[in-house]
Amino acid sequence: MIVCVCNAIRETQVRQAAREGAGCPTSAYKCYGAKPRCGQCFSFAREIIAAERSAA
């Protein structure tokens, strides 16, 4: 599933970035050489990151 349409970042990529230490959408996107643009995806990306971090 696409999380960030602006950067074409998928849920699996956000999960991987969280497992590698990303604590917020901005740092997760940075792992893929992207920057947040419109911000519509932030709440969903935060949920994904929180879920991954609590599962670790």
Helix/strand/coil (H, E, C) string of the chain? CEEECCCCEEHHHHHHHHHCCCCCHHHHHHCCCCCCCCCCCHHHHHHHHHHHHHHC
Give the per-residue pLDDT at 18: 97
Give the per-residue pLDDT at 8: 97
Summarize pLDDT for 5-55 with one digit per residue, the tens. 999 999 999 999 999 999 999 999 999 999 999 999 999 999 999 999 998
Residues 22, 27, 29, CA angle at the centre, nearest 5°? 110
C-alpha 56/C-alpha 50 separation (Å) is 10
pTM: 0.92
Residue 56 has pLDDT above 80, yes or no: no
